[in-house]
Amino acid sequence: KHGVLTRKSHADMDGKKTPRGRRGWKKFYAVLKGMILYLQKDEYKPDSDISEVDLKNAVRIHHALATHATDYSKKPNVLKLKTSDWRVFLLQAPSEEEMMSWIFRINLV
Ligand code: I3P
């Protein structure tokens, strides 16, 4: 699965609150492959190598949990992704349908 997702870091590893200056929203081209959610700067091209930066933004979603971020009301269609190392990301999808689809696919892994 792939598509545009806008990401906000809410908590870093071990659940520590992401400090100010790194809490902004950033748009990515997301690609879910196996147990990894790649958050890429540019659109997905089949067979192209993943850049160093894109690898750094990749999120392991094994034992992660995705839910609709009902406690976040500033933007619509936002899902909350909690990873197994206690990071928390907010991810805004372009539509409710897309948000539900990402939640379903992430929780299936
Ligand atoms: C953050 C940025 C985010 C904002 C966040 C700010 O600043 O303005 O958009 O979240 O507020 O800290 P910075 O880019 O300097 O990290 P919202 O869009 O959700 O308001 P927060 O600290 O209350 O999460």
Ligand 1 probe mutation, 23, 77, 89, most atoms within 8 A of CB: 23
How confident is the model over 74-99, as pLDDT tens digits? 999 999 999 999 999 999 999 999 99
ipTM of model = 0.97
Report how far residue 17's alpha carbon sits from residue 31's, in angstroms, rounded to the nearest whole number: 26
Helix/strand/coil for 23? coil
User: Are the C-beta atoms of residues 29 and 41 closer than 8 Å to each other?
Assistant: yes
Instruction: With residue 102 as reference, give the H or E element that holds it.
Output: helix 96-108
**pTM metric for this prediction:** 0.95
18 neighbors 10 (Cβ within 8 angstroms): yes
Instruction: Write out residues with Cβ below 6 Å of ligand 1.
Output: 20-25, 74
Nearest Cα to Cα of residue 3 among 76, 100, 81: 100
